[in-house]
Amino acid sequence: MLKTDYSPLLESFQFASGISLKNRVVMAPMTNFSSNEDGTVSGPELDYYIRRSKGAGMVITACVYVSRGGKGFAGEFGADRDELIPSLRQLAEAIKGEGAKAVLQIFHGGRQCPPAQLPDGQPVSASNVPSELPGGGHGPVPRALTDEEIEGIIADFGAATRRAIEAGFDGVEIHGANGYLLQQFFSPHSNTREDRWGGDVQKRLAFPLAVLRAVKSAVNEHASSPFLVGYRFSPEEPETPGITMAESFVLIDALKEEGLDYLHASLQELWSLPRRGTEDSRPRIEQIVDRAGSGLPVIGVGSLYSADDALKGLTSGIRLVALGRPLLIEPDWVQKVAEGRADEIRTELDTAAQSTLVIPDPLWGALTHTPGWIPVKS
């Protein structure tokens, strides 16, 4: 029987900025709930990253809050003040020490922030529209941000980028996906403003683009060597009104015009089909790649557990394959492909293997107590 050729996954890749990756596999950003209360990275968290940074060409960290009022999770680490730079440096060095490029994902949770995680218990957003919860009902009602506060958060993204540079990261990824603050400003569901930060689709782009400009400005001012700027987005929303594929294309066009190193499409399933806003019935990822064009590399993610899944993923036109849950289950994923042992890649979580998988207790608890999040070995 002919052995599958997985070498496309192992080919090196160079961004336009000159930064090179040793292969096409990226560790996707995943919240791990395991940081210290003061926003520093914990020892178990460092061990978790070291365990997964040997194989991947690039590691995108869990998101860090750029403002204290944007903390979205218990056990999330921060980049909101200079005191945290030594902690961030430890993480960058841990990842890079294993041979991967290190990218810090920067974020503000907006209305998705649990009130208990906020100093004043009050989530904020573009408007005072609560989120619709998957099982029905609504999240907490957020307070609409003032113009001055919006400008402050934009500056916070720039300052967090400076800290990432000083800490030795190779880049930042702006988190504009999964219903967090940047997406809240772009969405007609959560943004009902009538000032310069809201209105039609072009006006709803104002905040995400201002954040991107602040980040790029910080890179121009503080980085002495190439430094990646990526943007993660969710291509559609289920809500009505909500972001459609047509509006996602407007976002891609605007980001492309501003200039980015890469676009990261956040999908639960890579091959998922569009809901609305396009006559094209092809999978969303293929339409996103087409819209981005040859000059803007797209990273794709979404349930690519086996080497065959990931190899097929490259046929969509994405340049890099991001693995999240697969690297929780199988930290040696890339090494097994490289050694011709792709058939030995585990695709279900072994619930007796926490110590060998090096998964911190809070994340382990979440994985084993959230049915359907991750395939579990029966």
Q: Catalytic residues, which ones?
A: 180
How many CA atoms are closer than 13 Å to the CA of 288, on its beta-carbon side?
32
Cβ 265 vs Cβ 301: under 8 Å: yes
Q: What is the rounded CA–CA span in Å between residue 178 and residue 235?
A: 9
12 residue type, one letter: S
Among all chains, which residue has been given the structure tokens 């976002």?
A: 251
Is residue 44 within 8 A of residue 126, CB to CB? The reply is no
* Rounded distance between C-alpha atoms, residue 216 and residue 158, angstroms: 8
CB 160 within 8 Å of CB 152: no
Q: How many CA atoms lie within 13 A of 228 on its CB side?
A: 32
Residue by residue, DSSP assigns 39-59 as SPPPHHHHHHHHHHTTT-SEE
Considering only CA atoms, which of 235, 217, 214 is closest in space to residue 156? Answer: 214
| DSSP collapsed to 3 states, 253-320 | HHHHHHCCCEEEECCCCCCCCCCCCCCCCCCHHHHHHHHHCCCCCEEEECCCCCHHHHHHHHCCCCCE
